[in-house]
Amino acid sequence: MILARTFIIGFPLLVAAVAAWAVHESRQSRIDRTGGVVVMLSQNEPVLNPFLPATEVEQEISDLVHEPLIRLGADGTLQSGLAEFWRWTQDVTCWFADEAAAKHAQELLHAQIGQNNRWTEWHLDSVRVMENRLLMSFNEPNAEGVRQAFEIVAGLNLKPVVYWRIESHKPLRQSWDRFMAGSKLAVQIQRVWFDGANACEIVVAGDSQRLLEDLHRFLDISRDEPASINPMAEVGALSEPVLDLDIRPGMHWHDGTPATAADAKATLEFLRGNDWPLPNREALSNIQTMESQNKGARLHVSFRRRQGTALCVFVNLPMLPAKWLRAHPAAQESDFVHHAPPGAGTHRIVSRDPRSLLLAPYKKDKEMPGFLFNFAASPLMTQIGMRTHAVDLVWPAADRTQLERLRFTPPRQRLVVLWNTRHDVLKHERCREALTLATDKDELIHALPGRLGHADASLFAPDLWFSTLAKSQPFQLEQARKILTEAGWPRDDKGIARSPERSFQFTLLVPGGDALHTRTAELLVAQWRKLGAEVKIELATDSQALAQRLHEHRFDAVLLDQRFEVSWDQLPWWHSSQAKTGGSNFCGISDPQTDLILEALAAEYDPEQVPRRVRELESRLLPQHPMLTLFTTHDEAAAMPTLHEKRSARGPVSNWTLHTLTGPPKLTPTAPLFQLQLRTQE
């Protein structure tokens, strides 16, 4: 009895003591950091791997600490990060029998300057001879100019340039290194690109026969099966797009050392060596060579193939110091927790422990606040912080009765339904249109848990400078029924749409293990039932099984999360060449005119020309209804009355981030908008 009374009396005292301590600690933190922002988080201490953020708040902490080469601004445009200027060029290399033949080719090209300077027409910048090689450098990747210049030297008995692919059942690297060190014929190999551990592609100038025999001699030692070596293409010259990125002067890491192109090169090499699921991973893997030039002021990158969207691989991709990467070559989770790499962003890590993280502005600025993040905050501690106004931001939002305003982070992904256009029912464009009109997105958003937003019908993320924000078709059930009837699928007395051959039915494949996906699928089936469709739900057992079903096209319709990326290349998803088994055109859309538009868009190097090409693509593809966009997902944070924001969110979608609290962007000569710089401007 005495023990019970002690507990009854002591518990309120304990709560009061905890509350007093919490208020003291929060207020003391505020005193120590005048003008700072206190953030209460329910999650445990994050790893803060800048390349693999597990949550939205980790992503935003990384954005404060780490700087990419190119940053995507709040208005959706490309802006300078570590790099202040960029330029695309193109190198074309020809091989001749000897140096005399290469010099003769150079003379023929110099003769084209004359009165009507064809070099200007071709965008040809320079022609150099290096032994038996002729290197033509163009100041923009102009395919027509390259072709015309090449025609001048094409008749001079050029050595063939052949692309070969080598594949093996075992890792190739050690055998390859022995070959390069021990074969006299290895000098014929001009480029090498490893495609994983068991495959590589090489570029050979000249006759390849003896070289291939020597390759087999080195590669097939102690192997049960010989390596396969197959030709991919034979051309007259090696053509390589080249991207130069100039590092902004005066950029430093938080440890005080200068940030250089060598750091960017080390970061990219580090990322190419692991299999992390990075945005624009394909463009990263297509890098052929990287060099740090001009005493570390320029990163010089060449690519294996023509791909204008390769620029996007550097957007919002954090850069790390080469010194830290050398000290942590494997970079495990513990390295990021206990030896956090210095960044070059607006804020630096001052202190860190399992309960809190303190960020301070790297440069002294009275207008820029610091941030104190409190981890693993219990509901009780959160309530105390809110009621005492000792907290500025609660993430995720807790008791809304105490809030002044909510803030929704930018959409990182959306939920979509992909239609398999090979299916007996879904192959009909009008049927897919009817299903779209019969989908009530407002009902989905109101019925489902979490912060969901309206998704437009565009193929691209809503916050990019080239996004069209194409309007989704509104819910029109009667119109949908009319379309289906006109297409030969009237409803019977039970409300089921039927053709003379079959009923209107298909299966919706859904990722298993996610409540949002499952509940969304159930609501969709109920909505489509009113149209007359009989839809069954099939759950995929895991992500690997789902991926296999997609690549083998063994589905009718599938519900998927679409992660937004900063890229205008849509070729992998809709080009007819990718509609075969194993390709990523899961819908099976096949349209020659769409293919041409996709190819032109993927090859576009000028970001200012992208919006026009995007509009052309969407005007052709969207009327075919290849997919149904449903809604975007957002994080929800609670902004307390104590928080005074420096600037309000702008744009057509929510773009509130922690950067919103750091003050308006300062566009000064040292931080210009990220832009193209021609060679003549150097």
SS3 517: helix
Q: Is the pLDDT of residue 614 over 70?
A: yes
Q: Is the pLDDT of residue 183 over 50?
A: yes
Nearest partner of 623 among 405, 436, 380, judged by Cα:
436
- Angle between helix 143-153 and helix 99-110 axes, rounded to 10 deg: 120
Residues 241-285 have pLDDT tens digits of 999 999 999 999 999 999 999 999 999 999 988 888 888 888 888
pLDDT band for position 366 (50/70/90)? confident
CB 418 within 8 A of CB 510: no
Question: If you average pLDDT over residues 483-496, what whole number do you get?
Answer: 94
How far, in Å, CA of 627 to CA of 618, rounded?
A: 12
Q: Is the pLDDT of residue 399 over 60?
A: no
The full set of domains in the chain, from first to last, is 97-153 (no CATH), 161-235 (3.30.70.2280), 413-634 (3.10.105.10)
Name which of 108-122, 231-245, 633-647 the model is least confident about.
Answer: 633-647
What is the per-residue pLDDT for 652?
44
Q: What is the average pLDDT value for the chain, to the nearest integer?
A: 87
What is the per-residue pLDDT for 675?
54
Structure-token pair, residue 589:
């859309």
What is the per-residue pLDDT for 472?
92
Structure-token pair, residue 566:
């900063």
Question: If you average pLDDT over residues 445-453, what whole number do you get?
Answer: 89
CB 279 within 8 A of CB 566: yes
How far, in Å, CA of 272 to CA of 276, rounded?
A: 9
Q: Tell me if the bond preceding 396 is cis, omega within 30° of 0.
A: yes
Name which of 14-28, 100-114, 486-500, 624-638 the model is least confident about.
Answer: 14-28
Structure-token pair, residue 325:
């990467």
What is the per-residue pLDDT for 400?
54
What are phi and psi for residue 258, nearest 5 degrees?
A: -65, 145
Structure-token pair, residue 176:
């390859």
Q: Is the pLDDT of residue 222 over 70?
A: no
How far, in Å, CA of 283 to CA of 305, rounded?
A: 10
How far, in Å, CA of 264 to CA of 82, rounded?
A: 9
Note the Cα 451 to chain centre separation in Å: 23
Contacts of 83 (CB under 8 A, 6+ apart): 69, 70, 245, 246, 247, 248, 264, 299, 314, 674
CB 408 within 8 A of CB 654: yes
pLDDT band for position 532 (50/70/90)? very high
What is the per-residue pLDDT for 459?
95
Q: What does the H/E/C string look like for 631-650? A: EEEECEEEECCCCCCCCCCC
Decide which of 305 and 108 is more confident. 108
What are phi and psi for residue 143, nearest 5 degrees?
A: -60, -40
CB 134 within 8 A of CB 102: yes
Amino acid in position 658: L
Amino acid in position 656: W
How far, in Å, CA of 120 to CA of 101, rounded?
A: 25
CB 331 within 8 A of CB 271: no
Q: Side-chain half-sphere of 674: how many Cα atoms within 13 Å?
A: 27
How far, in Å, CA of 651 to CA of 668, rounded?
A: 22
Q: What is the DSSP letter of 501?
A: S
Q: Is the pLDDT of residue 521 over 80?
A: yes
The structure's pTM equals: 0.85
How far, in Å, CA of 675 to CA of 79, rounded?
A: 8
CB neighbourhood size of 18 (10 A): 14
What is the per-residue pLDDT for 404?
56
Contacts of 432 (CB under 8 A, 6+ apart): 419, 421, 426, 624, 625, 626, 628
Residues 301-345 have pLDDT tens digits of 999 887 888 999 999 999 999 999 999 998 889 999 999 999 999
Element (H, E) at 9: helix 2-32
Question: If you average pLDDT over residues 402-411, what whole number do you get?
Answer: 73
Name which of 28-42, 251-265, 588-602, 632-646 the model is least confident about.
Answer: 28-42
- H helix intervals, 438-476: 441-447
Nearest partner of 68 among 225, 280, 220, judged by Cα:
280
Query: How distant, in Å, are the alpha carbons of 64, 72, 268, 502, 671 from that of 668?
Result: 19, 17, 28, 66, 5
What is the per-residue pLDDT for 644?
66
Name which of 159-168, 353-362, 400-409, 457-466 the model is least confident about.
Answer: 400-409
Nearest partner of 407 among 60, 67, 25, 79, judged by Cα:
60
Query: How distant, in Å, are the alpha carbons of 53, 467, 597, 631 from that of 462?
Result: 21, 6, 21, 12
What is the per-residue pLDDT for 362?
93
CB neighbourhood size of 460 (10 A): 22
The span from the first CA to the last CA of the chain, in angstroms, equals 86
Q: Is the pLDDT of residue 231 over 70?
A: yes
What is the per-residue pLDDT for 3?
32
Residues counted in the chain: 682
How far, in Å, CA of 616 to CA of 638, rounded?
A: 41
CB 350 within 8 A of CB 358: yes
SS3 352: strand
